C-alpha cells in the first residue's frame, strides 16, 4: 500500500507511467524521438515477460507519447511543476518537452544551485542579451564572451545600487523592507575567471547554448521556462491598444506564436513581423507571395534576428578571417553593434551565412 505516499495520481496511472516520469525527470528535457526510445524500453519489459517481442521505438506514436506526457503532467501538478514544449529554433526544429517551474524567474531558478553574486550576474547577462544587444536596429539577443565579461560587475549608478535582492526580484528598491545597507548585501560582481566558469556551467546545465561562432544565448528550455518573465521584464506591458504594432524587446514568430530569439525579421525596420527559420517553409507554402503579411515589404530572408544579425555582417566575416592575426574577436561583435547603433547602414552588405 505504499501508493498512499504518492500525490493523487490520475486514473489508470501504471508502473509504465511511473517509469516514464522518472526517466523524464532524470533527463530534464526530451524530444519525441528520445521519448520513443524511452517508452519502447519501458514497454518492452512487459512485452518480454509476456513472451512478446521487444517494442520497436518507431512503433511508438506521437499520440502514445503525448498520452504519457499528459499522465505525467497530471501526476506532477500537485508539486507546482509543469511540462511544456517548444520547438527548437535551429537545426531541424525538433520539439522539446521539459519540466517547468510554474512560478518562474531566474532568481528562483538559480537560487539553490548558484551563489547570490552569480544569480545577480545572470540577471545582468540577461539585461545585456535582451536590452543592450537587442535594439530595433540589431536584435542579437545573444552575447559573445567579451560582451559577457563586460557585465562581470554591476554598474555603479549614482547611489541607485539596489543590492542583490532588489535586482533579482525586479524590485526597484521602493519597498519599505529595510534601507540600503545592513540588510542588503553589496554585490561585488564576479572575476573574469568566475564568469567564464559560470558560463560553461550554465551551458552544461542546459540553460545557455554556445554557438560555433562563440555566442551565448538562452537554450530552448530556458526560453520555455522564462518566456513569461522575459515578456514581463523587457517588454512595455502597457494596456494601450495602439501598442500592438510597436517594437518590443521580446517578439513572437508570425507563424507559430512562440518567442523568437533566432530567426528572420521583416526588412522594414519599423515592422515587428518575425519568423523562425524552422517555420518559414510551411508559412510561405500557404501564401502566394513572399511578402511581409503586415507591411507587404518583400521578404528576402536575409534580415536576421539572433547572432546572425552580427555574424552576417561583412565586418564580422572580414574580422573572423583576420582573427588568426591575434585580434580579439570579442571586440568584433561589440564594434559591429556600435557601428550599427551609430547609424551606419550596412543592410545592403548582408552576407549569406
Ligand atoms: Zn515559429
Ligand atoms: Zn513587415
Cα of 246 vs centre of ligand 2, distance in Å, is 12
pLDDT of residue 150: 95
pLDDT on residue 132: 95
Grid coordinates given for 117: 553574486
Residues 6+ apart with CB under 8 A from 207: 218, 219, 221, 222
Residue 266 Cα to ligand 1 midpoint, Å, equals: 14
Tell me, what's the pLDDT at 171?
A: 45
Of the listed ligands, the closest to the CA of 267 is 2
Ligand closest to CA 290: 2
CA 301 to ligand 1 centroid distance, Å: 14
Residues 25-53 as b or e (16 or more Cβ within 10 Å = b): eeeebbbbebbbebbbebbbeeeeeeeee
Spatial strand order of the sheet with 29-31 comes to: 29-31, 95-101, 81-87
pLDDT of residue 142: 97
pTM for the structure as a whole: 0.80
Ligand 2 centre from 348 Cα, in Å? 17
Q: Would you state the pLDDT for residue 143? A: 97
Q: Which of 259, 258, 242, 241 is nearest to 250 (CA)?
A: 259
Cβ atoms of residues 240 and 248 within 8 Å: no
Considering every ligand atom, which ligand is closest to the CA of 270? Answer: 2
Instruction: Name the grid cell of 87.
Output: 520547438
Map out the domains of the chain with their CATH numbers: 12-79 (no CATH), 233-349 (3.30.40.10)
pLDDT tens digits, the chain, 353 residues: what are they?
555 555 566 677 888 999 999 999 999 899 999 999 999 999 999 899 999 999 999 999 999 999 999 999 888 878 778 899 999 999 889 999 998 876 778 887 787 789 999 999 999 999 999 999 999 999 999 999 999 999 999 987 654 444 444 444 444 444 444 444 444 567 889 999 999 999 999 999 889 999 999 999 999 999 998 988 999 999 987 766 556 778 999 999 999 999 999 999 999 998 999 999 999 999 999 898 999 999 999 999 999 999 999 999 888 888 775 554 444 555 788 888 888 777 755 444 444 44
Centre of ligand 2 to C-alpha 253, Å, is: 12
**Quick one: pLDDT at residue 163?**
45
- pLDDT value of position 9: 65
User: What's the length of the chain?
Assistant: 353
Query: What cell does 49 get?
Result: 515477460
Amino acid at each position: 500500500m505504499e501508493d498512499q505516499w504518492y500525490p493523487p495520481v490520475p486514473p489508470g496511472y501504471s508502473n509504465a507511467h511511473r517509469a516514464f516520469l522518472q526517466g523524464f525527470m532524470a533527463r530534464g528535457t526530451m524530444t519525441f524521438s528520445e521519448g520513443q526510445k524511452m517508452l519502447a524500453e519501458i514497454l518492452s519489459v512487459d512485452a518480454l515477460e509476456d513472451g512478446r517481442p521487444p517494442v520497436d521505438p518507431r512503433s511508438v506514436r506521437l499520440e502514445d507519447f503525448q498520452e504519457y506526457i499528459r499522465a505525467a503532467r497530471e501526476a506532477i501538478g500537485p508539486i507546482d511543476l509543469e511540462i511544456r514544449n517548444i520547438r527548437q529554433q535551429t537545426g531541424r526544429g525538433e520539439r522539446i518537452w521539459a519540466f517547468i517551474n510554474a512560478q518562474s524567474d531566474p532568481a528562483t531558478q538559480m537560487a539553490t544551485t548558484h551563489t547570490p553574486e552569480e544569480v545577480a550576474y545572470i540577471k545582468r547577462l540577461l539585461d545585456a542579451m535582451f536590452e543592450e544587444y537587442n535594439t530595433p536596429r540589431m536584435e542579437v539577443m545573444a552575447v559573445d564572451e567579451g560582451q559577457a565579461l563586460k557585465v562581470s560587475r554591476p554598474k555603479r549608478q549614482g547611489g541607485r545600487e539596489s543590492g542583490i535582492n532588489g535586482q533579482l526580484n525586479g524590485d526597484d528598491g521602493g519597498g519599505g523592507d529595510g534601507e540600503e545597507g545592513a540588510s542588503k548585501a553589496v554585490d561585488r560582481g564576479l572575476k573574469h575567471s568566475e564568469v567564464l566558469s559560470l558560463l560553461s556551467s550554465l551551458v552544461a546545465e542546459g540553460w545557455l547554448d554556445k554557438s560555433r561562432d562563440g555566442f551565448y544565448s538562452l537554450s530552448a528550455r530556458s526560453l520555455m521556462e522564462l518566456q513569461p518573465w522575459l515578456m514581463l521584464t523587457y517588454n512595455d506591458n502597457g494596456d494601450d491598444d495602439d501598442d500592438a504594432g510597436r517594437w518590443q524587446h521580446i517578439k513572437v514568430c508570425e507563424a507559430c506564436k512562440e518567442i523568437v530569439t533566432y530567426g528572420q525579421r521583416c526588412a522594414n525596420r519599423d515592422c515587428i513581423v518575425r519568423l523562425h527559420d524552422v517555420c518559414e517553409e510551411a508559412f510561405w507554402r500557404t501564401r502566394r507571395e513572399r511578402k511581409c503579411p503586415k507591411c507587404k515589404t518583400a521578404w528576402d530572408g536575409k534580415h536576421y534576428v539572433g547572432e546572425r544579425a552580427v555574424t552576417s555582417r561583412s565586418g564580422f566575416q572580414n574580422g573572423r578571417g583576420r582573427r588568426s592575426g591575434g585580434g580579439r574577436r570579442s571586440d568584433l561583435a561589440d564594434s559591429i553593434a556600435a557601428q550599427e547603433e551609430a547609424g551606419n547602414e550596412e543592410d545592403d552588405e548582408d552576407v549569406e551565412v
